[in-house]
Structure 1
Amino acid sequence: MFPILGLFFGFLVGWVSSITIPVEYAHYLSIALLAGLDSIFGGVRSHLVGDFDMQVFFTGFFGNILLASAITVMGQWLGVELYLAVVIVFMFRLFKNLAIIRRITLKNYIKSKKNY
C-alpha cells in the first residue's frame, strides 16, 4: 500500500508544483521514472504473492535507478543511445508485473465470489 501511496503523492506533487526539468535531463528522468515504476509494480506483485520485503524493495528501487542512470550516462559518453535498451527492459518488466498482478487479483476476486 505504501508504494502506491508514494506514487500517488509523487504525481500529485509533480502536478501542482511549478518545477521544470531541463530538456538535457529528459532521458535521465524517463529512465528514473521507469525504474521507480518497475520497483513499485514489483513490490505490489510481491505483496500479493506474500513475500514482500521492505529492504529488498528499497535496495531494488534505488539500485535500479542508479544502474539505469549509469547505463544512460555511459551510452551518452559512447555516443550510443543505450537508454533505449533500458526503456525496453523496464517496459517488459512493467507489463509482466502488471499481468501477474492482474492474474492474482482476478484469481482472488473469483475465489471471494465463490465463497458467497
Structure 2
Amino acid sequence: MIAVLGLIAGVVLGILLEPSLPPFVEPYLPIMIVAAIDALFGGCRAYLEGTFTDKVFVVSFVSNTIIAAGIVWLGDQIGVGSQLSTGVIVVLGIRIFTNAASIRRSLFHA
C-alpha cells in the first residue's frame, strides 16, 4: 500500500512541478527506462517465485540503470554509441521477454 501511495505522490509531484532533464542526460534516458523495466519485470518474477528481496530489487534497479547508461556513455565516447545502444536494448529486451514468459507461466500455469 505504501508503494502505491508513493507512486501516486510521485506522479502528482511530477505533474505539478514539471521537472526537466539536463541536456546531457536526455540521450541516456530511454536506455535507463528499459533497464528499469527489466528490473521491474525481474522483481515481479522473483515475487511470484517466492524469492523476492527488497534489497536485491533496489540494488538491481539502480545498478541496471547505471550500468546500461554507462555502457551507452562509453559507446558515445569511443564513437559507437548507437551500436552499443542497440546492443543494450536487445539484451534487456530479451531479458524482459524472458521474465514476462516466466510471469505468464506462473500466473496461468501454462
Give the TM bin, normalised by the shorter chain: 0.7 to 0.9
**Quick one: distance in 1 between partners of 2:106 and 2:34?**
23
Partner of 1:71: 71
Q: What is the identity percentage for the equivalent residue pairs of Structure 1 and Structure 2?
A: 32
Partner of 1:102: 104
2:19 partner SS: coil
Q: TM-score with structure 1 length normalisation?
A: 0.75
Distance 1:94 1:13, change over 3 A: farther
Distance 1:29 1:11, change over 3 A: farther
**Quick one: distance in 1 between partners of 2:13 and 2:87?**
26
Question: Which structure would you say has the larger Rg?
Answer: 1
**Quick one: distance in 1 between partners of 2:99 and 2:44?**
9
Task: Give the C-alpha shift of residue 9 in structure 1.
Answer: 4.3
Task: Give the C-alpha shift of residue 58 in structure 1.
Answer: 1.0
**Does 2:25 align with 1:37?**
no
2:60 partner SS: helix
| Residues paired across the two proteins, number | 107
2:55 partner SS: helix
Structure 2 gaps of 5+ residues are: none
Structure 1 gaps of 5+ residues are: 111-116
